[in-house]
Amino acid sequence: MALVTTFWDIVHLLTGTPLFLVAILGLTWGILGGALPGISASITMALVLPFTYTMDPAMAIALLACVYIGAEYGGSIPAILIRTPGTNSSAATVIDGYEMNRQGRAGEALGISLMSGVIGSLFGLLMLAMLTEPLSWLALAFKPTSYFALGILGLSVIASMGGDSLLKGLAAAVIGLMIATVGTDPISGVTRFTFGVPDLLSGIEPVVVMVGLFALTELMSQSGSTSVTQLGNSIRIRLPGWEMMRTLRRSQIIGCILGLFEGLTPGGGGSVAAFMSYNEARRWSKTPEKFGKGSEEGIAAPETANNTVASTALIPLLSFGIPSSNSTAVLLGGLLMHGLLPGPRLFEQNPQVIDSLYVGSLIAIIAQIGVGVIILPACVWMVNRPRPYRSGFIFALILSGLYTLNNSTFDLGLALALGLVGYFMRLARFPVLPMILGVVLGHMVESSYRRSLVLSGGDFHIFVEDPIAVGLLGAALLFVTFSLAREYREARRTKLQEAHQ
Amino acid sequence: MNRDLIAGAVLLAIAGAYYVSIGTIADSTLSDEVGAAGLPLALAGLLALIALVMMARAVLATRAARRAGGPVAAVEDDEEGDASVPRALGLLLIGAAYVVLLPYAGYVLSVALLIAAVAFYEGAARSWVIPAAAIGGAALYWAIFVKLLGVHQPAGILVQGWLS
């Protein structure tokens, strides 16, 4: 009888807490969204962002983190089954994953991807819990000048690493900052660029910008596409045994290490980590000749790496408020939407948010093994739906979700307009992340800049008197210079190749 | 004209329009040294500078490619991308129609029409599946948003009038 009571206590604890449900729902949505080709992890998160508006902040942030974890695994499903990565970071998984599928080992490939993802996520979460709070204390030494410099560094890094042209990245960042100036001035309280529209008085919400630039732009880009994807309905995941896990150990360690460093590096992201891990795993493998021909290690390394990044990318975000990728920019949007500012005060004033984030992520990572197996038929079913219906349902979901923000059709119109902007930016090969970051960081950059000058009585020397600000601005300048040098080198190489031909 | 030159011109126009709009920002006695117009002025100048550099680079790159007699494909238009523009704009128009219709037709009817219109526009075969998916989708979203999440969605002026 006592045993039964204890059992029901555990069941009640697990099912009675909303965090458990939030983690499972987030994970499930993440896997489903990530499995849909063209719907990246950031889009999957952006789609769910409006729903979190009315949620408890701790639950909202945990939900977004769990969606991110799920989407990183979900992206590998179409990568293995139809040679189309569901997310950018699963592109490296295509190489050996699809090859294994062709050899009739799709279930085995999915199992390796799932377990490697779990190992990478657990390692990433451990690093997140260990490193974030100590790093965030550094932020206590930050003055307004340092925060201004930090914002400039974040924008410079993302602008210089976001695309093929630094100028385009910078232009996008400036437009983002321009959007952030709409609304009420943070210092004097006068209105700017509102043109008499009451809906603009409180500014343009980053969520609307993210949904417009990520989700609507993607939907517009896919319009008219005739590509048909069909998966076999009989696929079942085969989880790897101990023997196989021992074989994969080396590539998983490589994935963990590179995932940690790439997560900490602004602009690094899961795709860079995945490709680097793939190359390193091949270099250190006992059987490098198997890579590209259906190597198990060729799946384990990139999947471990991109799942590690899903957690470690939160370290610079939670410590300093600098998102290093699209997905973490969405998460920052979620934090700001709930009035939560990253840094040490987040740990002091809102420990429940951090606790929920860690525990929710842990639940999602462990549950991923079961949910990943159970949900595969649903993923296959969703991917097999005709694209016209899929687009209709996604469009309706986007517009329905956005309306929940302010119960205003103005937000819907704004998001559609931003979708158009994002579509033309994509055509002209402008990266959208610097623009989103401009919107998200705009308030911090402007208010820190102006507070610094208020403190110094208008003397610009204040920026060179703060060693942290000097260091950060110097780093921003270095990133821009290196990016320019890289562009110059590439242009010269192309010219030489053309002359040679 | 190549794509970067057009992009530069558009950026310059944005910078110009933004600069003109700065004139609408009122002066405030609470203002600091920089003022509410300070950052916008700097941003307008910066964007104009970037646009001019981009345009200059595009012109120089095109000239260099032509002078060398080599391929200029890298700086010329992407015809495939341009061909898809009307389709993408059409999808956006459907979204705009939804926004206009929502307050009048209400959430359920508008969502049903949106799903049906997008499915039809994106090439779904004309069959009973389109209306079935539209009705099913509208019912599903109504259940999720209105019933489950308690979000107030417009009931629709026309629908309310018709019901009463």
The two structure tokens encoding residue A163: 């695309």
- Shortest CB distance from A400 goes to which of B32, B133, B141? B141
What number of C-beta contacts closer than 8 Å exist between A and B? 201
**Beta carbons of A224 and B111 less than 8 Å apart:** no
Which residue, among B4, B18, B33, B39, would best test binding to A if mutated, counting the most A CBs under 10 Å from its CB? B39
Residue B75 binned pLDDT confidence (cut-offs 50, 70, 90): very low
Chain B contacts in chain A segment 400-419 (CB below 8 A): 400, 403-404, 407, 409, 412-413, 416, 419
User: CB within 8 A of A466, min separation 6: which ones?
Assistant: A143, A145, A146, A149
- Helix, strand, or coil (residue A79): helix
Identity of the residue numbered A83? R
Which residue, among A47, A211, A220, A493, would best test binding to B if mutated, counting the most B CBs under 10 Å from its CB? A220
Distance from chain centroid for Cα B104: 23
Give B-chain residues touching A174 at CB under 8 angstroms: 43, 46-47, 50
Average pLDDT on B43-63 reads 91
Residue B72 binned pLDDT confidence (cut-offs 50, 70, 90): low
**Beta carbons of A400 and B137 less than 8 Å apart:** no
Indicate the range of A20-24, B31-35, B129-133 predicted with least confidence: B31-35
Radius of gyration of chain A measured on its C-alpha atoms: 23
Ordered per-residue pLDDT tens for chain A, 501 residues? 444 445 555 455 455 568 888 899 999 989 988 887 667 788 888 888 887 877 888 888 999 999 999 988 888 887 787 776 767 677 788 888 888 888 888 888 989 999 999 999 999 999 998 888 787 777 777 788 888 888 888 788 777 766 668 889 899 999 999 999 999 887 888 889 988 888 888 888 887 888 888 888 888 988 867 665 555 656 778 888 888 889 999 999 999 999 998 888 765 567 778 888 888 888 888 888 888 888 999 999 999 998 998 889 888 888 877 777 778 888 888 888 888 888 777 887 888 888 888 888 999 999 988 888 888 888 777 777 788 898 899 899 888 888 877 888 999 999 999 999 999 998 888 988 889 888 888 888 888 888 888 888 888 888 888 898 899 899 889 888 888 888 788 877 877 777 776
Is B84 within 8 Å of chain A by CB?
yes
- Give the other-Cβ count within 10 Å of A444's Cβ: 20
Q: Are A361 and A478 in contact (CB under 8 A)?
A: no
Give A-chain residues touching B28 at CB under 8 angstroms: 185, 188-190
Give B-chain residues touching A494 at CB under 8 angstroms: 74
In this model, does residue B33 exceed pLDDT 80? no
Is A228 within 8 Å of chain B by CB?
no
pLDDT of residue B110: 94
> How far lies A199's CA from each of A188, A191, B85, in Å?
19, 12, 30
Give A-chain residues touching B151 at CB under 8 angstroms: 54, 403-404, 407
Identity of the residue numbered A67? V
> Of A331, A381, A371, A383, which is closest to residue A118 (Cα–Cα)?
A371
Chain B contacts in chain A segment 323-362 (CB below 8 A): none
| Chain A residue at shortest CA distance from B20 | A193
**Beta carbons of B111 and A396 less than 8 Å apart:** yes
What HEC string does A120-170 produce? HHHHHHHHHHHHHHHHHHHHHHCCHHHHHHHHHHHHHHHHHHCCCCHHHHH
The residue among A67 and B73 whose pLDDT is bigger is A67
pLDDT of residue A254: 94
> Of A422, A398, A45, A428, which is closest to residue A218 (Cα–Cα)?
A422
What is the distance in angstroms between the Cα of B119 and the nearest Cα belonging to chain A?
4
What is the distance in angstroms between the Cα of B164 and the nearest Cα belonging to chain A?
24
**Beta carbons of B118 and A392 less than 8 Å apart:** yes
**What's the complex ipTM?**
0.89
pLDDT of residue A13: 45
B147-150 CB contacts, 8 Å cutoff, 24+ apart: B149/A51, B149/A54, B149/A404
Is B96 within 8 Å of chain A by CB?
yes
Domain map of chain A by residue range? Answer: 19-135+144-225+236-500
Give B-chain residues touching A187 at CB under 8 angstroms: 30-32, 36
pLDDT of residue A26: 92
Which residues sit opposite A192 in a β-bridge?
Answer: A183
